[in-house]
Structure 1
């Protein structure tokens, strides 16, 4: 029995490092191609081709992980959103794979990214080609996000601004409600669940998880375009906590983040 357990463990290590190497190599290769395209092509074409390639590339990557037996992805529910009118896509954020899963199914998606990822040699040129938005200058970020929505794009914005901590949902930031209010678009919540804490907050990047990991994405409640930013933040945080745990969030806890806006 121990022999077979060691064989299984060794196979999982091989699959794990193949998955990491594949993501890094494909991302770097696309960045090499994307770099000159950022200079040569007009912004409308860059945005179209950049987002489509990222979406198709991530879809192929997830299929490869499934074929290797590393993960199982139940994320087809996202397909129902692809052709809808502009909205803010607001998921909880349990792991680093969340954006990859969502982008793989929504090729029209604009994305707000951490500035260090936009500057990263593996992802930066591709992110710039897709006209993804840096999060380091708040006013400029808000302006670009609103312009994307008014231009017909969906916008991916993790309402916590980082991976969920503590689980199941951390503090909701006010920027999501401000953007939706200024663009006058709804906020569509997305519920992501997994049976492993792999690549969650505090998980070492090179630590192998038990496999396979099962991921599931469900379409959550859609909130009307906000009129009251503070109230929307409270409602979002309360909803996420209730939907992910089955228990309501105490009002004094739900209002804590919103109080920061006052």
Structure 2
């Protein structure tokens, strides 16, 4: 079933799915977050379908994270977030540990560019946010190394926050959105890489040193050095993950 240029439906597929697809296009290209959809009656008239079909289409859009719905109110366009993408990544990583290497490849593509752009574009607030995350890592390193689980969690939260802050400082909104969506997966990857990091004789201070190099290059406005420092850091992380997974595979069941 297809939607004609007049908004009516024709064909042999699902009317609700076709209405949802057409409305999704309108939401993504013409409406802003917080805007209300027309009433069910108006939409039913537009698409020449019954109100039950419209309700089903709206439920489909809510399931895709595009709308908020509440009983007795018009559906409202949601502020975009990365929940669906995040759920997909979580499933992928937990079902196939090799996907961690796919994630590193994606991070290399995105984060080297983030650091490069941040060195060119970061303002004082952007640099301050990166510095704050690094200070959080530094403040929690000693206790984390001594085995304090709360400090360890805080260290990793600030580690992820550092990378998110670099993405935001790049001035590219899509990069910022992607890192927000990937934050849970970054935490998971960092937890795995930490095992390999320790196995290879490194400490959290080595992790901090990588981040200091990245920040120093961004502060200096040296785009090439910032991108290269990020690339080297992520390649080192890849080696940590490889070591961790190898050791996990060698352990008896």
- The structure carrying a bigger helix percent of its residues is 2
Query: Which fold has the larger relative contact order, with Cα–Cα distance below 8 Å and residues 6 or more apart in sequence?
Result: 1
Q: Normalising by the residue count of structure 2, what TM-score does the alignment of the two structures yield? A: 0.26
The structure number with the bigger radius of gyration is 2
Q: Normalising by the residue count of structure 1, what TM-score does the alignment of the two structures yield? A: 0.25
- The structure carrying a bigger strand percent of its residues is 1
